[in-house]
Structures are given as structure tokens and as C-alpha cells.
Structure 1
Amino acid sequence: MTTETYNQALLTLALAGIDAINTSASQHKAPRTPAQESHFLCNWMVESLKTKRFSKLVADDLTSWIRQARSQGAGAQLKRLLTCIADQYQQANDSAIATGAGLKNLLAELTEQNWVIITDTDIDAKLKLDSVGQSSLIISAKEFNQHIIDDNIVKPISMYIRGDENQVARLALAQGILLSQGNKKTTLIKHHKTYTLRPKNLHPSLCLLCINQY
């Protein structure tokens, strides 16, 4: 028996939500306003959570989105969020690029865009990088050299990033890679955030989404 992953549970939820709101919209003659769409999806999520329609793996996500919709209304942009999740997780699933090869392609592209890229230094203590304001991405040499085998990421890799995270997420997605959310608390490089890459993109929680392209 195959255990459902967080990615599978999240994608199932997102596709079901999109289908629900599209079906509802087709039953109304007049287009719905963003506020009406948010209200519909909030109620749909409340009912889904109450009936335990989806995996426990996404229960915290549902709870968080319901809270946002209740406090922000249309500002929560639930439809855009679900569309973003569905598109990006499906794109990563369908990618034929090995994750390790994709990471190397990502680093090459950022180098061309004048980012400071460092992968030849072991990072095992807190450091400060002087890069004269340039965007930068750092990976410990130990992880870069040992956590990629046969062009695949086989163990988690921490990336320390200072720069436009949406740009990195977008370029990574083009290589079939999903990044974790950034974390300031775990970083070892001053003024950088930690982002994690995982084997087969199997993150335990919602990845960093390229929201700006929707």
C-alpha cells in the first residue's frame, strides 16, 4: 500500500476546490465578484474540513486559509492560491529534468543574472557575506557535493538566499524544482534566508509559490 504524500494531498485539494468553484460559477448567469468567490471557497473549505474530506496532511492549510478568508475577504485570493498550487505542483510533477541537474541549471542561470553563487565552501557556523549589495545564493560544499547523486537530489539541501525569492522560485520551477518557504531563524548566513530542496520535491508543507505570475 502506497502512503499518500503531502504533495498528492495538496494537489487533490487544490484541483477539487477549482472544480467546485468552476461548477458553481457555471450555474450562475452573472460573473461572480472576487468577494463572492472568496466567500464560496471559504464555505467550501469549512465544509471540507468539517467532513474530513481531505487528508490530515492538509488540515492545517485549510484551517489557515479559512482564517485568512474570514479576516481578509477577497484579499485572501483563495481562487488564485488554489490555481497557483495546482499549476506549479503539476508542472514540477511533469518535469523530465532530474532535480540535481535542475539545481545546477538554476545556479548557472542566476550566475548569468549577476548573482553571487557560492558552492565550494563548507558552511557549519554563522557567517557574513560581503557582496556589495548583489543578490546571493550559498550552498554548503558538503551538501552540494554529497547530496546530489546521478543528477538527483537524494538528501535535503539548504540554500541561503538574499535576493528576490519570487525570481528564484520561478526559475527553479522552470527546472522542475520546488523550494520550501524561506526561514530567517535557521540561516547560517547573515541577511539571508534558508530555503530547502528535498528529494523528489517532497516537502512536508506548502512550498514557495510564484504568486506574482498569476
Structure 2
Amino acid sequence: MTTETYNQALLTLALAGIDAINTSASQHKSPKTPAQESHFLCNWMVESLKTKRFSKLVADDLTTWIRQARSQGAGAQLKRLLTCIAEQYQQANNSAIATGTGLNNLLAELTAQKWVVITDTDIDAKLKLDSDGQSSLIISAKEFNQHIIDNNIVKPIAMYIRGDENQVARLALAQGILLSQGNKKTTLIKHHKTYTLRPKNLHPSLCLLCLDQY
């Protein structure tokens, strides 16, 4: 018996939500406003959480989104969020690019865009990088050399990034790679955030989404 992953549970939820709101819209002749869409999806999520329709793996996400919808209304942009999740997770799932190859392609693209990219230094203590204001991405040499086998990421890789995270997420997605959310607390490089890459993109929580595409 195969255990459901977080990615599978999240994608199931996102696709079901999109289908529910599209079905609702098709049953009404008048177009729905963003406020009405938010209200519908909020109620749908409340009912889904109450009836335990989806995996426990996404219960915290549902709780967060319900809270946001109740406080922000249309500003929560739930339909946009679910669409973003569905499209980006499916794009990563369908990518034919090996994750290790994709990472190398990402680093080459950022280098071409004048980022400072460092992968030849072991990072095992807190450091400061003087890059004269340039965007930068650093991976410990030990992880870069040992966590990629046969062009695939086989163990988590921490990337320390200072720069436009949406740009990195967008370029990574084009290579079939999903990044974790950024974390300031775990970084070893001053003024950078830690973003994690995982084998087969199997993150335990919502990845960094390219919301600027929608």
C-alpha cells in the first residue's frame, strides 16, 4: 500500500476546489465577483475540514486559508491560490528534467543574470557574504557534491538566497523544481534566507509559489 504524500494530498485538494467553484459558476448565469468566489471557497473549505474530506496532511493549510478568507475576504484570493497550486505542482510532476540537472540549469541561468552563485565552499558556520548588493545564492559544497547522484537530488539541499525569491521560484519551476518557503531563522549566511530542495520535490508543506504569474 502506497502512503499518500503531502504533494498528492495538496493537489487533490486544489483540483477539487477549482472544480467546485467552476461547477458553481456554471450553474449561475450572472458572473461571480471575487468576493462571492472567496465566500464560496471559504464555505467549501470549512465543510471539507468539518467532514474530513481530505487528508490530515492538508488540514493545517485549510485552517490557514479559512482564517485568511474570513479576515481578508476577496483579498485572500483563494481561487488564484488553488489555481497556482494545481498548475505549478502538476508542472513539476510532469517535468522530464532530472532534479540535479534542473538545479545546475537554474544556477547557470542565475549566473547569466549576474547573480553571485557559490557552490565550492563548505558552509558549516555562520558567515557573511560581501557581494556589493548583488543578488546571491549559496549552496554548501558538501551538499552540492554529495546530495546529487546520477543527476538527481537524493538528499535535501539548503540554498541560501538573497534576492528576488519569485524570480528564483519561477526559474526553478521551469526546470521542474519546487522550492520550500524561505526561512530566516535557519540561515547560516547573514542577510540570506534558507530555501530547501528535496528529492522528488517531496516537501512536507506548501512550497514557494510563483504568484506573480497569475
Q: What is the CA-CA distance between 1:118 and the residue it aligns to?
A: 0.2
Q: Distance in 2 between matches of 1:39 and 1:124?
A: 48
**How many Å apart are 1:125 and its aligned residue?**
0.2
Kindly state the Cα deviation for residue 121 of structure 1 after the two structures are TM-superposed.
0.1
Return the offset for 1:68. 0.1
1:70-89 correspondence runs (5 A):
70-89=70-89
Counterpart-to-counterpart distance in 1, 2:113 and 2:41: 39
Shift of 1:142: 0.0
Q: Distance in 2 between matches of 1:73 and 1:126?
A: 41
Give the Å deviation of 1:147.
Answer: 0.1
Report the equivalent of 2:171: 171
- Report deviation, 1:149: 0.2
Q: Distance in 2 between matches of 1:100 and 1:61?
A: 29
Mapped to 2, the partners of 1:130 and 1:28 lie a distance apart of 58
Q: 1:132: how far off?
A: 0.2
Measured on the aligned residues, the alpha-carbon RMSD in Å equals 0.2
Find the counterpart in structure 2 of residue 24 from structure 1. Answer: 24
Map 1:48-197; keep pairs closer than 5 Å: 48-197=48-197
Deviations 1:120-159 (A, max 9, x none): 0000000000000000000000000000000000000000
Task: State the Cα deviation string for residues 15-41 of structure 1 (Å, max 9, x = none).
Answer: 000000000000001100000000000
Give deviations 1:34-87, integer Å, cap 9, x for gaps: 000000000000000000000000000000000000000000000000000000
Alpha-carbon separation, structure 1, partners of 2:32 and 2:152:
45
**1:92: Cα distance to partner?**
0.1
Question: How far off its partner does 1:173 sit?
Answer: 0.1
Aligned counterparts of 2:63 and 2:75: Cα–Cα separation in 1: 17
**Aligned pairs, number:** 214
Rounded to whole Å, the distance in 2 between the matches of 1:18 and 1:195 is 28
Q: Secondary structure at the match of 1:195?
A: strand
CA distance in 2 between partners of 1:62 and 1:34 (Å): 19
Q: After TM superposition, which residue ranges in structure 1, 4 or more long, deviate above 3 angstroms?
A: none
Task: Give the unaligned 5+ runs of structure 1.
Answer: none
The separation in 1 between residues aligned to 2:180 and 2:30, in whole angstroms, is 39
TM-score (norm 2): 1.00
CA distance in 1, matches of 2:101, 2:212: 26
Partner Cα separation in structure 2 for residue 185 and residue 71 of structure 1: 27
